[in-house]
C-alpha cells in the first residue's frame, strides 16, 4: 500500500509512540495525517468516533491511543484500563468498517500473553493461559480487539492487522512516577538519588523477572512497515528478540546515570510476569523488520533526552 496519498488517522498520534510514528510518516511523504485530540474527540464514545470518521473519511486508521501504565497504575486502575482500552478499540473498529476504511492497524500489547508462556513467546501461544494478574484487564481488553478484527475479516472481509509490541522506551517517554513503565521509572529514580547523594535505591520485587525492550523509533518503523505490507489479522510480535533481568537493567541504568550507591530489592512488592521475550520470526519474514538499536545505545539516547529536559521541567515546577 502506498501511504503517501492516503488519508490516515493516527489515534494517540500526539503521544509517546505516536509522535515518533507521525514524524516517520511525514518524512516518508504522507501528506494527509489526522491526529485526533482527546479534547475534540472522546474515543470511548461511539457517537464521537462516528463524528471523527464522518469528518475525516479516512482510508487508513492506525490505532495507538491507549490507557497505559506500569504495575502500580495497573493495580490501581484495573477497571479503567479494561474499559477505556476495550471500548476505544471496539468503536474504532466498528466505525472504520462502516465507513469503508481500507486498512486498520491495531497495536496491541505483550501483556496479552499468558503469565507462564514459554520463552521466547510465539504468537501461537497467545491463547494457552490467563495473563499475568497485575495487568490482565489491560491485556485482555487488547486481546479481545484482536479477536474482533479477526472476526470482521472473516465475516466482512475487513482488512485489519494486529501487532504485539514489547515494552517500548526512548525520548519522549512518560516519566510520571504514578504511571511510568520500568525504564523511565528507573532513570528518574537513579538520577534523583544521585542528585540527593543517596547511598541506596530500592526497587520493587526480586529483580529476577526478565523483560524485552524495543527502542521507540524501531517500533515506529515496524508499524510503518506493517501498514504498508501486512495483510493478515493473525498477530505479529514486534520486539528486539532479547531479554534482560530487571536487576541487570537497573545496574545498567545506574552505570549510565552515574549513580554509585547500592541497589536494594523489595521482594514484598510484586514482580509481574516472570519472563518476557518474543519470537520475532514472523516480523522478520512478513515485514522485513529487525530491531536496529541496541539496549545500551537506546538507554543512552533516552537518558540524554531526559536530562536535556530537566532545566525546563524545574522551571515549570517553580
Task: Report the pLDDT value the prediction gives residue 129, as an integer from 0 to 100.
Answer: 96
3-state secondary structure of 14: coil
d(CA 139, CA 108): 8
pLDDT value for 314: 54
Q: Which residues lie below 8 Å from residue 27, measured CB to CB, with a gap of 6+?
A: none
**Residues pairing with 211 in the sheet:** 244
Provide the annotated active-site residues: 138
pLDDT at 312: 57
Q: How far apart are CA 6 and CA 107, in angstroms?
A: 19
Mind giving me the DSSP string for 113-153? SBTTPPSSB-GGGTTSSPBPGGGHHHHHHHHHHHHHHHHHH
Cell numbers representing residue 141 in the block: 481488553
What's residue 183's pLDDT? 96
**Spatial CB neighbours of 99, under 8 Å, sequence gap ≥ 6:** 53, 54, 57, 58
**What DSSP state is assigned to residue 2?**
-
Closest CA relative to residue 56, chosen from 100, 105, 26, 115 = 100
Specify the CATH superfamily of domain 7-317: NAD(P)-binding Rossmann-like Domain (3.40.50.720)
Domain ranges of the chain: 7-317
- Angstrom distance (rounded) from CA 212 to CA 9: 29
Cell, residue 47:
457517537
Confidence (pLDDT) at 238:
98
Q: What is the pLDDT along the chain (318 residues), one digit of tens a residue?
A: 999 999 999 999 999 999 999 999 999 999 999 999 999 999 999 999 999 999 999 999 999 999 987 778 888 999 999 999 999 999 999 999 999 999 999 999 999 999 999 999 999 999 999 999 988 999 999 999 999 999 999 999 999 999 999 999 999 999 988 878 899 999 999 999 999 999 999 998 999 999 999 999 999 999 999 999 999 999 999 999 999 999 999 999 999 999 999 999 999 998 888 888 999 999 999 999 999 999 999 999 999 999 999 875 553 443
What integer pLDDT is reported at residue 279 of this predicted model?
Answer: 97
Amino acid at each position: 500500500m502506498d501511504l503517501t496519498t492516503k488519508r490516515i488517522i493516527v489515534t494517540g498520534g500526539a503521544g509517546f509512540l505516536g509522535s515518533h510514528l507521525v514524524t516517520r510518516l511525514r518524512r516518508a511523504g504522507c501528506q494527509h495525517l489526522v491526529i485526533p485530540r482527546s479534547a475534540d474527540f472522546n474515543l470511548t464514545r461511539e457517537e464521537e468516533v462516528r463524528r471523527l470518521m464522518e469528518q475525516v473519511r479516512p482510508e487508513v486508521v492506525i490505532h495507538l491511543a491507549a490507557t497505559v501504565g506500569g504495575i502500580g497504575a495497573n493495580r490501581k486502575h484495573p477497571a479503567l484500563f479494561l474499559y477505556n482500552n476495550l471500548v476505544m478499540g471496539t468503536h474504532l473498529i466498528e466505525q472504520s468498517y462502516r465507513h469503508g476504511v481500507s486498512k486498520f492497524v491495531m497495536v496491541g500489547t505483550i501483556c496479552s500473553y499468558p503469565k507462564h508462556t514459554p520463552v521466547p513467546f510465539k504468537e501461537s501461544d497467545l491463547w494457552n493461559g490467563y495473563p499475568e494478574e497485575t495487568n490482565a484487564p489491560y491485556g485482555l481488553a487488547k486481546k479481545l480487539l484482536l479477536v474482533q478484527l479477526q472476526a470482521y475479516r472473516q465475516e466482512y472481509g475487513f482488512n485489519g492487522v494486529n501487532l504485539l509490541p514489547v515494552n517500548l522506551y526512548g525520548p519522549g517517554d512518560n516519566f510520571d512516577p504514578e504511571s511510568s513503565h520500568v525504564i523511565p521509572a528507573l532513570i528518574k529514580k537513579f538520577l534523583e538519588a544521585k542528585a540527593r547523594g543517596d547511598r541506596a535505591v530500592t526497587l520493587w520485587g526480586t529483580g529476577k523477572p526478565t523483560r524485552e525492550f524495543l527502542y521507540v523509533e524501531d517500533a515506529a518503523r515496524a508499524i510503518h512497515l506493517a501498514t504498508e505490507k501486512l495483510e493478515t489479522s493473525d498477530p505479529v510480535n514486534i520486539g528486539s528478540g532479547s531479554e534482560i533481568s530487571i536487576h541487570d537493567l537497573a545496574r545498567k541504568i545506574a552505570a549510565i546515570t552515574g549513580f554509585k550507591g547500592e541497589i536494594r530489592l523489595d521482594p514484598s512488592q510484586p514482580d509481574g510476569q516472570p519472563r518476557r521475550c518474543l519470537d520475532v520470526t514472523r516480523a522478520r519474514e512478513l515485514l522485513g523488520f529487525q530491531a536496529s538499536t541496541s539496549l545500551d545505545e537506546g538507554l543512552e539516547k533516552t537518558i540524554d533526552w531526559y536530562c536535556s529536559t530537566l532545566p525546563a521541567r524545574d522551571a515549570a515546577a517553580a
